[in-house]
């Protein structure tokens, strides 16, 4: 069976898991540096999108939900990345530019499309925080996916 036309594959899933792991690790480190608190607060924040303030209770089940939601989002963005890079040849010619634009796209999608439909109250726009968040997405998701896509056409 020819796999060249498959939209999603095991390689995409593994790439998404890698990108999600890098992203949540960076977010946890950044959260700890900023607050001095346990990085589990990041997972509780993600879970609060569905569960509201209850996610910040002592219930460790919220950590699972936060991690699950995080990886669902990261894997979805990874699948979309590979779909775009495999179907729009011009994107693979400007990989670094595409990685930067895709990082900005991921941030904007979460900020303006996902969060408004969640129970998370929007935080005020702060350019410093936006630059940090976008940089994490570029370094931990876009660039690794670009490297993986460049090694071999991931189909």
pLDDT tens digit sequence for 102-151: 999 999 999 999 999 999 988 899 999 999 999 999 999 999 999 998 87
- Provide mean pLDDT across the span 48-54: 94
Q: Cite the DSSP H helix spans in the chain.
A: 10-35, 40-51, 61-87, 89-93, 95-109, 127-137, 143-151
**CA separation for the pair 58, 104 (Å, rounded):** 33
Question: Average model confidence (pLDDT) for the chain?
Answer: 90
Comparison of pLDDT for 5 and 55, the residue scoring more: 55
Q: Which pLDDT belongs to residue 6? A: 59
> What is the CA angle 124-118-29, rounded to 5?
60
Q: Which pLDDT belongs to residue 152? A: 56
Q: Which pLDDT belongs to residue 4? A: 47
Distances in Å between the alpha carbon of 5 and those of 48, 79, 83, 130, 155?
38, 14, 10, 36, 7
Residue 82 backbone phi and psi in degrees, to 5? -65, -35
**CA separation for the pair 118, 78 (Å, rounded):** 21
Q: Which pLDDT belongs to residue 31? A: 95
CB-based burial of residue 57 (10 Å sphere; 0-12 exposed, 13-18 middle, 19+ buried)?
A: exposed
CA 132 to chain centre: 14
pLDDT band for position 7 (cuts 50, 70, 90): low
Beta carbons within 8 Å of 54's beta carbon, 6+ residues apart: 48, 62
In tens, the pLDDT along 80-93 reads 999 999 899 899 88
């Amino acid at each position: 069976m020819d796999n060249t036309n498959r939209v999603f594959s095991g390689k995409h899933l593994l790439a998404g898991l890698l990108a999600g792991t890098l992203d949540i690790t960076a977010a946890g480190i950044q959260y700890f540096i900023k607050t001095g608190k346990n990085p589990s607060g990041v997972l509780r924040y993600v879970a609060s999108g569905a569960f509201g303030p209850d996610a910040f209770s002592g219930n460790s089940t919220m950590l699972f939900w936060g991690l699950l939601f995080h990886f669902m989002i990261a894997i979805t963005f990874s699948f979309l990345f590979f779909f775009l890079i495999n179907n729009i040849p011009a994107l693979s010619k400007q990989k670094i530019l595409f990685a930067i634009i895709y990082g900005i796209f991921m941030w904007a999608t979460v900020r303006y499309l996902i969060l408004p439909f969640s129970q998370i109250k929007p935080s005020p726009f702060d350019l410093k925080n936006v630059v940090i968040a976008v940089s994490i997405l570029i370094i931990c998701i876009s660039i690794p996916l670009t490297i993986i896509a460049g090694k071999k056409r991931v189909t």
